[in-house]
Amino acid sequence: MSSIVRPLSSMVNEVCSIMEINNERRYKLQRGLQSIKREMEQVVGLMEDKNKECRGALQETRIQQLQEFVYNFEDFVETLRDPPPYSKPVLVAVNMDPRTEQLRSIEHFKETISSLGLYFLNQSGESSQSQDPDQGAMSDPDEDADEEQLQSIGGPKSEIVELLKTSPGEEQKLRVISIVGCRGVGKTALARAVRKKYSSSDEFDCVAWVVASGCNKKKALLDKILESVREDLARRAPDAENAPKEESEGASTTKPNLQDILSHKRCLVFVDDVQQALVWKDTVDACRKNGSRSRIVVTTSVRSVATACSSGSYVYRMQILSDADSESLFWRKVYGSETAYPPDALVTGSKSIFSKCGGLPRALTSVAKHLNMKGDTLESTHCIDVGQNLGKDYLLGTNNAENVFKEMRRALMHSYGSLPDYDHRSCMLYLGIFPKGHKIKSKSLVRRLVAEGLVVDEGCKCFEELIDRCIVEPVQICNNSVVAKRCQVHGVVLEYIVHKSVAKNVVTLIQGHDPVLKAASTQARVRRLSVQSSTKERFDELEDKAALRSLTMFETEPTDLKMCKMLRILDLEGCHGLDQEGFLEGLSELLLLKYLNLRSTRINKLPTKIKKLQRLETLDIRDTDVKILPLDVIMLPKLAYLFGKFQLPEVPTEGKDAHNLYEFLNKKSSLHTLAGFVTNKKDSPEHVVLIARNLKKIKVWCNDTPADDAGLFPDYTKVASSSAAASDRPSKRRRNWFGKTHVVPDDYACPRSRAQECQSRILDFIKLLKIRATPLDSVSIVSNGVCSDLLSSLEGGERTISSIKLRGILDCLPESNKLRELGRIKKLQLFSTGLTAKDLSALQVLLGLEYLKLVEHADRFCDSIFVVEKNGFQSLKSLCIDAPKVPEMQFKEGSMRSLTSLYLLCSNSQNPSGVIDGISHLAKLSEVILHSSMQRAWEAVANGHPNRPCVKRQPEPTANTQ
């Protein structure tokens, strides 16, 4: 919650420092600003204390009021940065001195924050009547247990049954199977279907069912499990002979504990809705694992809990219903009949229902039951009404259809209300900016949140928490199994988020020709606006633009933004019309901008006025026609993330301008990521690479087209030839960005071929990276030439780059002794090297390598065997093979001891027989990710592993995943 005032504190301190320079302004204004800042911090402290006791509707309202106060105060502080002409006595004489109005504003702010502070100071708790309905149901409601809601339940049910079986030769050990998925997807229904199968069979001595909701302590859950197990044992064996034995000692009688029962009996225990990994760990630790044939099935909506319960194996991930199953379930519930089929008018009118429910059984069932109440009067208009108002009227509870939507609403409310704190809830509501079906780029989203001050830095865990809780679904997983590059919000969850965020004035939406969705309060100002598939005229209709802090447009032509002086975030990705005269110059007047996304637009040049954006932190011009980056962009003091594909500008090498540039890059530049630039100009990026001390990530394209000069980074020290003729050439002295001077012959020329020139540029580039004052974390190189010596050039020194991504031809890998010197590389991604699987298996000597991705589309890659010897790839945790087919792979005993994830993203899958040998030797393997088109037989290969690794399927990556 401290994130509300965190950005403002540093701003007040900065403005007060500015005021100290101007004696006429500093005294009363400065005291007032510091006083308000201190009181805000006290209010936040009180709020955080009270938040531990109660989180009701009134509490949320006060938090919203504080946020609005901070926004207004922050905007006011921004107006104090530039000193007005106080020195002109004429302003005072005519009563136009702006200080008077500023002091009035200060007093007004003091009164407002004092009233908020007084409320929290006197607050002693809230009654249940004032409890926010969002927070009222803090435990997960019992899911709809109707097995019929899952039309295709046969497949999932059989998979759970298989997981319960004992494998041949397997030791007796307590096994935990996790069923994980978002709320409303049917986890409980599936678990009850499995329970029903075993309830009347003799395969287990008892079948118990426990709901974990509300059990926040180990003993509470243990007691519930033990009670349920004893009840079922007593039901099955009512006579004393078969009942659980009790131990007698003197006159006392001790009932058997849970550990004894699970060890001596074969029990099947279902624990529904586990939400905390720690509670589960305490519970399962109390049970003896070895020597038990019992099974425990856990349902949860938290991915980390599922992993903790089942150690990465024996995890079943619930999937939403297919289109056919969704329609079958929906109309069966509407008509109460298996055979009834709706008329065409109802089919057409219900399209938006299916779109928003998105295959979620509980949502479909809720809407169907509501329509079922219409009976014979059901018309297409009823379907259209529900589809249009599902979020606002039915999921937020403003409609009187309370009962049929109660369970769906409680599930969604719990997803929001159970989040740990205000920051997490704000992050969830922020997702209301994005339209349905939009694939959210995770890193871009976090950079936006940082720019808005909603999170501290890129290490923020809020977004990860939303993924973990199945509120946000990963679309594309990269690098390893926990990094989601792109994510998506499920349809019905997004409906809830949108209307919740609008109600709390987090987001205002303009969607097509629909009415503007904005907060009902007339005092709420528009702070964040999302314009989706609309027109610039609709944007112009919005009167309140002065307080706008964030503007995101999707498939909309932008218009004049001169009224939006308070903008911090401007995202125009994919929009047209930005190349019209004067538009980009106008953006340069938005002096508070921190995040500017112009990706996939038609712009071809950045104006020199962009130097006015002194607070800009992120600039994205990927997939545009900008060919040369102005030097003014490099000189932006706050710019940390720069994305595109451009040539860096010519830079001065001598004189005052060169000195100023050197001082800026060496001491003031914030540049962290440069991804990236094209190497076809001599000396162009050297200053960025060598002097920008905060630079950690870089991407470069090396083309084999002839450059105007001899090469990107000519090694001047080798220019002086040993021949006598060399000393007779005309020459001049040139200072480079190392601060050294070299003799450069005037007729210096490079007689190399295109491929040699390209390779030389890459190697010179690597040399420069290696001698930086501070090391880089990640380097990505794209080349259409031969990069034969690239890896060899990286060995040695303490500053070896930890992450390398290379796209280009390698004629061979370095010898083993040279490769071993690259032991500090942790991540290596190789694309289209032209090498065979056997060649690339030589990388197993890289002792520190944790992630390896090989993308090869040449047939010769699969014509050899990828053999991993004992102790090979000893630190590797994740291996990804992306090729036309899976090459033959052989894992020797003792190889890949740390490997947990194996990616086989091969679209033309063949029969796995004889392709992979020794997969059982991968002792820690916990997941296998397959391409969506691979045969089911590949899943059997994974299931045959002793760990029973989790099997996922991933489609081909989408475009623009840079």
Tens-place pLDDT, residues 825-862: 899 999 999 899 999 999 999 988 999 999 998 888 98
What is the band of 67 on the pLDDT scale with cuts at 50, 70, 90?
confident
Helix pair angle (422-430, 406-417), 10° resolution:
120
Q: What region does 780 belong to: left with phi over 0, alpha with psi -120 to 50, or beta?
A: beta
What was the pLDDT predicted at 86? Answer: 47
- Residue 480 predicted with pLDDT over 60: no
pTM to 2 decimals?
Answer: 0.85
Angle at 292 between CA 243 and CA 154, to 5 degrees: 90
Helix and strand counts by DSSP (H, E) for the chain: 31, 32
Q: What is the mean pLDDT of residues 100-110?
A: 81
Q: Which of 51-55, 410-414, 570-574, 697-701 shows the lowest per-residue confidence on average (mean pLDDT)? A: 51-55
Q: What is the mean pLDDT of residues 312-320?
A: 80
Report for 21-25, 356-360, 430-434, 779-783: range of highest mean pLDDT: 430-434
What was the pLDDT predicted at 815? Answer: 83
Q: Which of 123-132, 157-166, 701-710, 793-802 shows the lowest per-residue confidence on average (mean pLDDT)? A: 123-132
Q: Which of 505-509, 667-671, 767-771, 934-938 shows the lowest per-residue confidence on average (mean pLDDT)? A: 767-771
CA distances (Å), 216 to each of 219, 529, 565, 664, in order?
Answer: 9, 40, 49, 54
A 10 A CB-CB count for 912 gives 18
What was the pLDDT predicted at 714? Answer: 34
Tens-place pLDDT, residues 600-654: 998 999 998 999 999 999 999 999 999 988 888 989 999 999 999 998 877 777 7
Q: What is the mean pLDDT of residues 65-89?
A: 74
Q: Which of 169-173, 501-505, 706-710 shows the lowest per-residue confidence on average (mean pLDDT)? A: 706-710
Report for 218-227, 528-537, 931-940, 946-955: range of highest mean pLDDT: 528-537
Q: What is the mean pLDDT of residues 419-427?
A: 86
**Rounded to whole angstroms, how far apart are CA atoms 167 and 162?**
9
- Residue 805 predicted with pLDDT over 50: yes
**Is 213 in contact with 139 (CB distance < 8 Å)?**
yes
Query: Phi and psi for 602 in degrees, rounded to 5?
Result: -95, 15
- Residue 950 predicted with pLDDT over 70: yes
What was the pLDDT predicted at 129? Answer: 39
Q: In the structure encoding, which two tokens stand for residue 274, read together?
A: 């586990």
What was the pLDDT predicted at 208? Answer: 93
- Residue 922 predicted with pLDDT over 70: yes
What was the pLDDT predicted at 732? Answer: 44
| Cα–chain center distance at 505 | 24
What was the pLDDT predicted at 408? Answer: 85
What was the pLDDT predicted at 150? Answer: 56
**Rounded to whole angstroms, how far apart are CA atoms 101 and 95?**
10
Tens-place pLDDT, residues 714-764: 332 232 233 334 344 444 444 444 444 433 334 333 344 555 666 666 666
Q: What is the mean pLDDT of residues 681-690?
A: 58
Higher-confidence residue: 401 or 232?
A: 232
**Is 809 in contact with 832 (CB distance < 8 Å)?**
yes
Q: What is the mean pLDDT of residues 383-393?
A: 85
Q: Which residue, 144, 586, 94, is CA-closest to 362?
A: 144
What was the pLDDT predicted at 10? Answer: 65
DSSP H helical segments within 265-343, as ranges?
277-285, 303-310, 323-335
Residue 525: partners with Cβ closer than 8 Å, 6 or more residues away: 68, 71, 72, 505, 544, 547
**Rounded to whole angstroms, how far apart are CA atoms 309 and 279?**
10
Q: In the structure encoding, which two tokens stand for residue 801, read together?
A: 């780059």
Question: What percent of the chain stands above pLDDT 90?
Answer: 26
- 3-class SS string, 833-878: CCCCHHHHHHHHHCCCCCEEEEECCCHHHHHCEEEECCCCCCCCCE
- Residue 35 predicted with pLDDT over 90: no
**Rounded to whole angstroms, how far apart are CA atoms 159 and 46?**
51
Q: What are the DSSP E strand ranges found in 385-467? A: 440-441
**Rounded to whole angstroms, how far apart are CA atoms 894 and 924?**
11
What was the pLDDT predicted at 750? Answer: 39
Tens-place pLDDT, residues 252-277: 455 677 888 888 888 999 999 998 88
Q: In the structure encoding, which two tokens stand for residue 333, read together?
A: 């519930």
Tell me the pLDDT of the chain averaged across its residues: 79
What is the band of 3 on the pLDDT scale with cuts at 50, 70, 90?
low
What is the band of 710 on the pLDDT scale with cuts at 50, 70, 90?
very low
- 3-class SS string, 721-788: CCCHHHHHCCEEEEECCCCCEEEEECCCCCCCCHHHHHHHHHHHHHHHHHCCCCCCCEEEEEEEEECC
